[in-house]
Structure 1
Amino acid sequence: MNIREFCRTHFKHFNAAALVDAADGYIRHVDSGGKMLVTLAGAMSTAELGISLAEMIRQDRVHAISCTGANLEEDLFNLVAHAFYERVPHYRDLTPKDEQALLERHMNRVTDTCIPEMEAMRRIETAVLEEWITADREGRRHFPHEFLYRVLRGGKLAGSYQIDPKNSWLLAACEKNLPLWVPGWEDATLGNMYAGHCISGDVKNVHTVRTGIEYMISLAEWYTETAPRSPVGFFQIGGGIAGDFPICVVPMLHQDLQRTGVPLWAYFCQISDSTTSYGSYSGAVPNEKITWGKLGLDTPKFIVESDASIVAPLLFAYVLNQ
């Protein structure tokens, strides 16, 4: 049996059943002409979500993405430096001295996976710095993801790929010219590097890379144009700014701009392990979003309280009927 048949056979209760319900809702939404925005928090790119997400993009099951700066860049890091990554399955047993030894080898640990600084981060920095400096000199301004799209389209990295390119979600998004929003990019590795190059004077105009407020304006324009023609769903992986930023566009359009006729989000699902009782917005149940004017009474709502690195690939494979 394929994955969809397997899930329908075995996933009958609890979070397993919620996964099936959410996947069936996803299929109904897209098959009826709706669009889907996916948000990526945590370390989903380092978890190699691109293996399943890239195919979702290619098959028009994902139409826009909001992600953290880390997820944006870490898909590229993996694309060009995968062979240099190291897995540390016993990471729970590491001592402070073990961690110091990783630092001295320039291996940046994300749970059980170490990202190599020189082969991944510095290689991408070299490529994108050329784009930043050239745009700065020419008076051009672009969003963070647009600079990476330019790097990919320019072919500077093509000879350095260390995974099958079909497993890079950013490359798939670039090929589709997918709308992307990257709120809070400044706290990512490349954002830190950009700040450093502005301080050192390599980039003269800090505004060469466009900002988060401009991202919100572009999201408002996209949503206003898209939602009345094709209802837009919201599929949230994790919590944090990747999800909080884009979901707020609807109440902003309604309450701050006093626009009428702008549809609410037409589908909502979140994969989360956050705990509501701590006052965590990331763990808030979908109904709380009704009070903020983001979802409606009749919006299909799902929450799968589990590990996104397990649930998301399964759900995507279900949607793709693999």
Structure 2
Amino acid sequence: MSTKGPVSNFLTHHFRHFNAASLVDAAKAYEDQLNNGAKMMITLAGAMSSGELGLSLAEMIRQDKVHIITCTGANLEEDVFNLVAHNHYKRIPNYRDLSPEDEQELLDGHFNRVTDTCIPEEEAMRRIEEHLVKRWLRATKENKRHLPHEYFYDLLLSGDLEDSYQIDTEDSWLMAAAKKDIPIIVPGWEDSTCGNFFASHCIQGEVSPMAMKSGIEYMIYLTDWYKKNSEKGVGFFQIGGGIAGDFPICVVPMMEQDLDLKDTPLWSYFCQISDSTTSYGSYSGAVPNEKITWGKLGIDTPKFIIESDATIVAPLIFAYLLGW
């Protein structure tokens, strides 16, 4: 194992108890998974791309420390928004003090707010719309169908946006994923800005809804990937809750119970970074042991919950894994 850097050494020396200790334990167990030849899935909920998680996640991808990603449609597109419009974003440190009138002023200025970060509609969203529409139109004309992330991969790898880049492409996790062609699962993609774009162009009769493959096809895609990659285990590193975590974790019980594939390995590791209140009435707040009853995790599966802010915790764990 390579020598650890100052961030990693700080964590192991100072993070000894409570959530801090859980962070270090989860990072060490993640590293053990990789050393034993297991694959790792990372799931991205919330607005991790607008939080610029790509600053560390992109390097995780380049160094083969993540092998498959499940994310919301928002995280898929917002990494590209940041790539082409970073200089136009507006940050509002005092976002807790905004009045309804302040929010309306942002809307009137074509800014969409995510906590302290405001995404510029014209420079970010509209800048990539025409490039996606061109691909959707081509697929419609040629009677072809693709998964949502495949359109984004094609857009980034084509170089069509190169003249618009406003950050170093090394800091784009989606660019890193596209270059390595790692699988991305995007359940509920239509619940996104670009999903709304697609729906509007379908309603206008310009493109066919059939040009976009569905969430069921993502589950089929994931099932095939899991069959081929789970011999030495697949770990599950969940950032936040919601569909990004709930959808892919179900592939194991589906294979075991519905496809009758009785030798399907359970997930070999589980960690969730969450600020959800622990609750057995909520998927996002359920403790990992509850997943045993659903055929997702086993009694001996390493399980961790870090009850904290993912924008703080995830980069620290990635730093440890990268030896920083």
Match of 2:254 among 252, 255, 264: 252
The answer to whether 1:152 aligns with 2:156 is yes
Q: State the one-letter code of the partner of 2:146.
A: H
- Please report how far the alpha carbon of residue 278 of structure 1 lies from its aligned counterpart in structure 2 after TM superposition: 7.0
Alpha-carbon separation, structure 1, partners of 2:171 and 2:37: 26
Match of 1:81 in 2: 85
Match of 2:65 in 1: 61
Match of 1:289 in 2: 291
Match of 2:206 among 199, 202, 205: 202
Match of 1:313 among 292, 312, 315: 315
The answer to whether 1:225 aligns with 2:192 is no
- Please report how far the alpha carbon of residue 260 of structure 1 lies from its aligned counterpart in structure 2 after TM superposition: 1.6
Query: Alignment partner of 1:236: what SS?
Result: strand
Q: State the one-letter code of the partner of 1:22.
A: A
Alpha-carbon separation, structure 2, partners of 1:307 and 1:243: 16
Q: State the one-letter code of the partner of 2:115.
A: T
Q: State the one-letter code of the partner of 1:188.
A: S
Match of 2:44 among 26, 40, 46: 40
Match of 1:96 in 2: 100
Match of 1:9 in 2: 13
- Please report how far the alpha carbon of residue 13 of structure 1 lies from its aligned counterpart in structure 2 after TM superposition: 0.3
Runs of 4+ in 1 over 2 A off after TM superposition: none
Alpha-carbon separation, structure 1, partners of 2:253 and 2:278: 22
Alpha-carbon separation, structure 1, partners of 2:280 and 2:93: 30
The answer to whether 1:214 aligns with 2:217 is yes
Measured on the aligned residues, the alpha-carbon RMSD in Å equals 0.8
Match of 1:30 in 2: 34
Match of 2:120 in 1: 116
- Please report how far the alpha carbon of residue 126 of structure 1 lies from its aligned counterpart in structure 2 after TM superposition: 1.1
Match of 1:271 in 2: 273
Where structure 2 has 5 or more consecutive residues not aligned to the other structure, the ranges are none
Write out per-residue CA displacement over residues 17-48 of structure 1, whole angstroms, 9 at most, x where no aligned residue.
00000000000001111100000000100000
Alpha-carbon separation, structure 1, partners of 2:8 and 2:157: 35
Write out per-residue CA displacement over residues 153-181 of structure 1, whole angstroms, 9 at most, x where no aligned residue.
11100111100100000000000001000
Q: State the one-letter code of the partner of 1:260.
A: K
Tell which deviates more after alignment, 53-62 or 254-263: 254-263
Alpha-carbon separation, structure 2, partners of 1:19 and 1:69: 27
Write out per-residue CA displacement over residues 260-303 of structure 1, whole angstroms, 9 at most, x where no aligned residue.
21100001100001012372210111111000000001111111
Q: State the one-letter code of the partner of 1:261.
A: D
Q: State the one-letter code of the partner of 2:227.
A: T
Tell me, yes or no, if the aligned pair for 2:279 and 2:287 is still in contact at 8 Å: no
The answer to whether 1:280 aligns with 2:250 is no
Q: State the one-letter code of the partner of 2:8.
A: R
Alpha-carbon separation, structure 1, partners of 2:156 and 2:139: 16
